[in-house]
Amino acid sequence: MKNFMDENFLLQTETAQKLYHEHAAKMPIIDYHCHLIPQMVADDYKFKSLTEIWLGGDHYKWRAMRTNGVDERFCTGKDTTDWEKFEKWAETVPYTFRNPLYHWTHLELKTAFGINKILNPQTAREIYDECNEKLAQPEYSARGMMRRYHVEAVCTTDDPIDSLEYHIKTRESGFEVKMLPTWRPDKAMAVEVPADFRAYVEKLAEVSGITISNFDDMITALRKRHDFFAEQGCRLSDHGIEEFYAEDYTDAEIKAIFNKVYGGAELTKEEILKFKSAMLVIFGEMDWEKGWTQQFHYGAIRNNNTRMFKLLGPDTGFDSIGEFTTAKAMAKFLDRLNTNGKLTKTILYNLNPCA
């Protein structure tokens, strides 16, 4: 019988085993899309407990716990201890069997902490205590973990208005692992809520030093920030979109739409789609000019639960797979850039496995 966590875990064929053990296992990690918190790397953060590093902000685990009937206070609550939260996760893990969460959990225990035990209510306490003892050691800090996994470079996810101060601090500290920013301009095209869009544009004006009163001013400010990101080593953009936008539009229409939404007026659905279409093209052209690679994460419906969104904010486990017909619009968008000779290297991530 094949053991669950042996050296060939998930390696089903001789070819897979040869490729992994003789080649892939020796290679460094170059992660071109991640959600690491730059300040933690800059400060070489020391984690207080296994719950903090494993469950803090991990909405995939929270979703599984909620599905298993665990009360919200054990996911995001402030009135429960780290141990109580971890105990509820350990109760949930056996029910994730055949879900990637089950594999990820045990791979992380094995590769990060050298633990081969199966996590369940019976083993929870000993695993929790052993991991916490190790987390207190210097080699288990944020940077220590990156060294443990032979990380060569990571590309974080950063808004155009971000100061990138922690990227700069990390680089100047002499840390051998490269932490580079990635341009994520989603909020610059989020015109659904006029007040939120205006607030964002005002922040953009502040950090760029550009007075913004019209659409051209906003693009000038974004270009200035794009230049700043490039100076800090950025070579990638990243766009979190529900679907691709490829409506026909004129420059005059986009300028009028900006004036309307910046003035506080609600846009029609057609105006929203036209504005997003124009912004995607402009961002694509900016990336082409600098030789960057553009990434698109699409196919998800965001923030389905309005009540929990207002309570907890975004990225807390209430997104879902979307059923969008994206091929036609995606082809039209990419063809627009290509026709003008401005299609840069592109990576597509579809969050719907059926499409």
> Backbone phi, then psi, for 335, in 5-degree steps?
-70, -35
Do residues 65 and 88 lie in contact, with contact meaning Cβ atoms separated by under 8 Å? yes
Instruction: Note the pLDDT tens digit of each residue in 8-46.
Output: 988 999 999 999 999 999 999 999 999 999 999 999 999
pLDDT (0 to 100) of residue 4: 81
Q: What pTM was estimated for this model as a whole?
A: 0.93
pLDDT band at 2 (very low <50, low <70, confident <90, very high): low
Q: Please list, in sequence order, all residues whose beta carbon lies within 8 angstroms of the beta carbon of residue 60, skipping any fewer than 6 positions away.
A: 101, 317
pLDDT at 352 over 90: no
pLDDT (0 to 100) of residue 323: 82
Q: Please list, in sequence order, all residues whose beta carbon lies within 8 angstroms of the beta carbon of residue 93, skipping any fewer than 6 positions away.
A: 101, 102, 105, 119, 120
pLDDT (0 to 100) of residue 1: 58
> Backbone phi, then psi, for 285, in 5-degree steps?
-70, -40
Cα–Cα distance between 178 and 183 in angstroms, integer? Answer: 16
pLDDT at 122 over 70: yes
Classified as helix, coil or strand, 202 is helix
Instruction: Note the pLDDT tens digit of each residue in 291-328.
Output: 999 999 998 888 888 988 888 888 888 888 888 888 99
